[in-house]
Amino acid sequence: MSGTIDKRPLSKKIGISLSYLIQALILIYAIYSFCTLDYLWGIWSSFALFLTLTPLILKRRFDITLPWELSLLIVLALYLHVGGNIRGWYLLFYPFYDKFAHLISSVLVAILGFTSAVVLDQYVESVKMNRYFVAFFVIIFTMAMGALWEIGEFASDTFLLTQTQHSINDTMLDLIFDLIGGSIVGLLGAIYLKYMPKERFIREFKADDHLIKKIPSKKLVKNRDKKWLKR
C-alpha cells in the first residue's frame, strides 16, 4: 500500500475538524467587520484568529504538541467572544450567553495555569508545589486573569465607548463564574495529580525531550550533581 493509514481516533478527527471550522468562522467575522467598517472588531477578530494558531506555533517553533481537546477549547473560547459581540449574542441571550462564555474562558485559563504550575514545579529548582498548592495556584491565577479581563472591558467602555460592562452585578457575576471555572479545574487537577505523576502529564504534551534540552528537570540536575561529587 502506498498510502498510510490514519490511526487517529474518530473523536480526535472530529475535534480537529471542528477547530478548523471555527477558525474559518472567525476569519469570516473578521472580513465581515472590515467590510462593514467596524474596524475595532475587525482588528480584534484578526487578533483572535492569530491566537487560535498558538498550538501550531508551539508545534513548529518549540516542538510542543497540545492535546487536541485543549486546542479546540482555545478556538471555542475565542469564537464565543468574537461571535457574541459581532452577532449580538451577548445582548440577545443575556445573561446566559455571557456567563457561559466566561465559564468556558475561565476553564481554558485554569487549564493553562495548571499546565504552567506543573512545568514550573518540574523544571525550576526553586519552585516546589504539592497538589494542593497547585490547585490553589490555579484558582488564584484564573481569578487574576479574570480581573485583568474586567479591567480591560472597563478601559474599552471608557475610551472606545463600547458597552461590555452593563452593571456592577454583571462584573461580579463574571468574576464568580471565573471562580467556578478555576475551582473546577483546580479540584480535578488535584485529583489527577494524586494518581498520576507530573512527569506523565508533561509527556502528554510530547515536549519532555525539548524541555530537558532547554531546562534540565530537578531530578536530572540532582543526578548530575551527584555524579560530579563522586569524581
Nearest to 127 by CA among 198, 67, 209, 210: 198
Alpha carbon distance 51, 63 (integer Å)? 17
Count other Cβ atoms within 10 Å, centred on residue 165: 15
**What is the model's pLDDT at position 148?**
96
Alpha carbon distance 152, 172 (integer Å)? 15
Query: Up-side HSE of residue 6: CA atoms within 13 Å toward CB?
Result: 6
Report if pTM > 0.85. Answer: no
**What is the model's pLDDT at position 227?**
42
Residue reference for cell 485543549: 70
**What is the model's pLDDT at position 44?**
92
- pLDDT per 10-residue tile (average), the chain, 231 residues: 56 90 96 94 94 87 80 94 92 91 94 89 83 94 95 91 87 95 95 82 60 50 45 43
**Measured on CA atoms in the order 213, 217, 222, 223, is the torsion positive or negative?**
negative
DSSP 133-175: HHHHHHHHHHHHHHHHHHHHHHHHHHHS-------HHHHHHHH
- Amino acid at the residue 179: L
Cα angle value 28/33/37 (rounded, 5°): 150
Count other Cβ atoms within 10 Å, centred on residue 119: 19
**What is the model's pLDDT at position 76?**
94
Alpha carbon distance 191, 212 (integer Å)? 26
DSSP 74-109: HHHHHHHHHHHHHS-HHHHTTTHHHHHHHHHHHHHH
